[in-house]
Amino acid sequence: MIVKELKPLFSYLSKYKRGIAAGSIWLIFTNCFILLLPWVLKYAIDGLKGGINGRALGFYAFLILAVTLVAGVFRFLMRRGLIGISRKIEYDLRNDFYRHLQLLSPSYFNRTPTGDLMSRATNDLDAVRMVLGPGLLNLFNTIIIFITAVSLMIYIDLRLSLYSLIPLPFLSLIINRMGKELHMRFERVQAHYSRLSAQVQENFAGIRVVKAYGQESDQIERFRRSNLEFVSKNMSLVKIWGFFLPLMLLFSGMGMLVVLWLGGKAVIANRITLGEFVAFNGYLIMLVWPMTALGWVLNLFQRGATSMGRISQILQQKPDISDSSHPISVASLRGEIELKNVIFSYEENSEPVLKGISLKIPPGSTLAIVGPTGSGKSTLVNLIPRLYDPTGGSLLIDGMDIRRIPLKVLRKHIGYVPQEGFLFSDTIKENIAVGKSSTQEEEVIAAASASHILDDIKHFPRKFLTQTGERGMTLSGGQKQRIGLARALIANPRILILDDPFSQVDTNTEETIWKSIRERTVGSTKILVTHRISSVRDADRIIVLSEGKIVEEGTHEELLARKGTYTELYRKQLIRQELEEL
């Protein structure tokens, strides 16, 4: 079980095999010098019995000091090497984990709590590092000490050695039995920690809603119950672990009791010398910590195996959206978009959100999409940058199947302003510059001007260096939307997708911004999703969606003449505007 879960780490370990080999050599040297100490004591004590002089005694004292110092130097080199490598592997694994998350499709994040991912990226990775550092170090140390110390004990007295090692078979049985229980209980602890992290993350993200509805007490109580359950699961783990360590010490004490009794008799019978008895006890004491540490190491490996299994679950996830195995070699796009009988469902065997959508958008033209809430407008535009792939039918750009266009090329030519704009916890400048890999200050200013956020920015004390706060909490909804627009405009995309980008600005501001966008993006294909008919009057083509189907299409005048769904939407909006003006 442990080896299977930790197997993915072998490739990381092989990258540092030279460093591991060097650290292992320092570990062997460290233990060799430490194992010399009881032997030096043996000669010193036997010498005292034989009547050595003060000079010889001083030599033994100096030898003990020298051996200790050299062992200390080797121990430093060993720890710096092996523990340092564990940190490097942690760095590599964390980078790979984050890189893989970036490759996963939006649908994965829709069904996976953010707190769960954060728990795996921090708590689980730390548990894996403990295996690679202290875990492996103490495992190697235990093996080396056990083999060499037992060999020297056998050399001193075989029978005494066999008696002192009687508890070992029972110890192995206990380790095997308790190891499985530790693994199972730690798995429960980590799973609940993920849920706890998800709950906290969700609460912080919605803190304004919590406060607005006076839900602080309810949220505190909800967290208290979840936290209490987490403590309960940890205590369940601690009970096993707490029982394990005293048991290890008990077996070690039994071995020492046997040695004291039988070894003392052997000295009295002159079968071994007093110096050999002291050396034997020294080696037995050296076995106490490794044997006790074996339980701690087992705990580390069980935790690490559980955590690596949880990390591997993420790393084994395949993105729903990826580059084709036979991509088309293309460097630029004109912006022609064609959908042929496109069907889309978010979940397998569920009701399609889009049902047989067919339309063609010429390059450089403007398409407006209107329709009631839940009609599939946002879903439709999400297919163009391949945030999702159609369940059925085909989507072509410049006559090419969108699946065969490299994702980097496709998204480089698309500017996308989602319905729910997101700002990073950074400066306004950096939030706008996200839309382009390398930007000049003049480009940022021009994009801000086009989205009509420049005047607002000039009134901020730090201008473009103003911090937006987490998710842009220091800005108004309209300001966040306009910064999102600037982010899309700065890249001068061939295809510009605007998903209800003016919902939090007034009608006059909307018309001004839309006019500015059209002037800046002449020649680009523009797709505008909106609830406001006033924004779509000048569109080259308008489609009306209802229940995932195109029910009407044409120009503003053509659709009004039909007196259908579009006319009804337009009439309701005119009434709403008149009421707002009263």
422-475 pLDDT, tens digit per residue, is 888 788 888 888 866 677 888 888 888 888 888 888 888 888 888 887 777 778
Q: Which of 282, 315, 348 is the last residue of a domain?
A: 315
pLDDT at 294: 72
For residues 336 and 391, state if they share a domain: yes
DSSP 423-468: --SSBHHHHHHTTSSS--HHHHHHHHHHTT-HHHHHHSTTGGG-B-
**284 & 378 share domain:** no
Residues 368 and 252 grouped into a single domain: no
Do 245 and 362 have their domain in common?
no
Q: Which two tokens stand for residue 450?
A: 């086009």
Indicate whether 444 belongs to any domain: no
Q: Which of 261, 287, 315 is where one domain is finished?
A: 315
**Residue 523 in domain:** no
User: What is the distance between the alpha carbons of residues 197 and 254, in angstroms, rounded to a whole number?
Assistant: 45
DSSP letters spanning 142-187? HHHHHHHHHHHHHHH-HHHHHHHTTTHHHHHHHHHHHHHHHHHHHH
Q: How many other C-beta atoms are found inside a 10 Å radius of the C-beta of residue 247? A: 17
Residue 475 counted as domain residue? no
Asked whether residue 280 falls in the same domain as residue 394, the answer is no
CATH number at 240 reads: 1.20.1560.10
Quick one: 85 and 48 in the same domain? yes
Distance, in Å, from the CA atom of 260 to the CA atom of 252, rounded to the nearest integer, reads 12
Residue 381's domain is classified under what CATH number?
3.40.50.300
Q: What is the pTM of this model?
A: 0.76
Structural tokens at position 36: 């010399």
Give the residue from 315, 350, 381 where a domain finishes. Answer: 315
Q: What is the pLDDT of residues 204-261, one digit of tens each?
A: 767 767 766 677 788 888 888 888 888 888 888 777 777 776 777 777 777 777 777 8
Count CA within 13 A, CB hemisphere, residue 284.
29
Q: Is residue 472 part of a domain?
A: no
Do both 336 and 202 map to the same domain? no
Domain count, the chain: 2
Distance CA 152, CA 280 (A): 8
361 and 279 in a single domain? The answer is: no
Domain that holds residue 105: 13-315
Mean pLDDT of 302-313: 86
Predicted confidence band of residue 582 (pLDDT cuts 50, 70, 90): low
Whether residue 441 lies inside any domain: the answer is no
**For 343-380, what is each residue's pLDDT tens digit?**
998 887 778 889 988 999 999 999 999 888 888 888 89
Is 327 a member of any domain? no
355 and 234 fall within a common domain: no
Are residues 257 and 365 located together in one domain of the fold? no
Residue at 41 is within a domain:
yes
Identify whether residues 134 and 269 lie together within a single domain: yes
**Inside any domain, residue 343:** yes
Of 147-151, 184-188, 487-491, minimum mean pLDDT range: 184-188
For 116-156, how does the pLDDT look when each residue is reduced to its tens digit (9 = 90+)?
Answer: 888 888 888 888 888 888 888 888 888 888 888 888 888 88
Are 265 and 366 contained in the same domain?
no
